[in-house]
């Protein structure tokens, strides 16, 4: 397989994978392109390579920067901004985990904690509600703890844990 074909196949696959992780396909494709790039790329280069509109590229670059997995770089004497991403897969996984924890786990823990003070006339329904939400809270707390350990740990710890399992 030629490099150009392999590159396109990887970008498409990464885009599909990203969609299953809850980010849009274009964002994942831009990230894939930056992963493979030897040098930082401008928005124009990304637009040309991926055949995307300026608005789509700019919006998704901002989102990737918000996720903490893409950096904006400026070059002396140039007005263009360039974008790059880290190549360390371990650090990428940790950053995505931190961000997903912040966006998904923390808000649901907050809601589950708040709804425990429920009251009502139907004692059976209230008791069931409290039990289900408490079980979800307990489970989410354990998941949150695992994610926190993962994001703070080094590679060795994770591999040792996998070997034990």
Percent of the chain past pLDDT 70, that is, above it, reads: 93
Q: What is the mean pLDDT of the chain?
A: 89
Residues 6 or more apart whose CB falls under 8 angstroms from that of 98 comprise 68, 147, 151
Burial class (CB in 10 A: 0-12, 13-18, 19+), 61: buried
Same domain for 110 and 62, yes or no, is no
pLDDT of residue 139: 94
Sort strands 71-74 and 41-42 into parallel, antiparallel or unpaired.
Answer: unpaired
pLDDT digits (tens, 9 = 90+) for 48-107: 999 999 999 999 999 999 999 999 998 888 889 999 999 988 888 888 888 889 988 999
Same domain for 19 and 78, yes or no, is yes
Same domain for 93 and 76, yes or no, is no
Is the dihedral angle over the CA atoms 9, 14, 15, 19 positive or is it negative? Answer: positive
Give the CA angle between residues 120, 121, 124 to the nearest 5°: 90
Domain CATH number, residue 80:
1.10.10.10
Q: What is the arithmetic mean of pLDDT over 26-34?
A: 96
Give the CA angle between residues 82, 63, 142 to the nearest 5°: 130
Same domain for 113 and 75, yes or no, is no
Domain span at residue 21 reads 3-84
Single pTM value for the model = 0.77
Same domain for 79 and 128, yes or no, is no
Domain count, the chain: 2
Q: What is the arithmetic mean of pLDDT over 115-130?
A: 89
Same domain for 80 and 17, yes or no, is yes
């Amino acid at each position: 397989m030629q490099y150009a074909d392999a590159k396109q196949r990887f970008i498409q696959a990464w885009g599909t994978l990203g969609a299953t992780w809850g980010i849009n396909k274009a964002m994942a494709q831009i990230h894939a392109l930056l992963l493979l790039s030897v040098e930082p790329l401008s928005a124009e280069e990304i637009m040309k390579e991926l055949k995307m509109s300026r608005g789509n590229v700019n919006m998704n670059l901002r989102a990737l920067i918000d996720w903490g997995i893409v950096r904006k770089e400026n070059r002396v004497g140039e007005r263009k901004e360039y974008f790059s991403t880290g190549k360390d897969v371990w650090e990428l996984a940790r950053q995505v985990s931190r961000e997903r924890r912040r966006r998904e786990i923390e808000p649901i823990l907050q809601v589950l904690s708040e709804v425990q003070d429920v009251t009502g006339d139907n004692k059976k329904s209230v008791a069931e509600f409290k039990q289900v939400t408490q079980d979800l809270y307990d489970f989410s707390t354990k998941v949150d703890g695992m994610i926190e350990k993962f994001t703070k740990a080094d590679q060795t710890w994770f591999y040792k844990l996998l070997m034990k399992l």
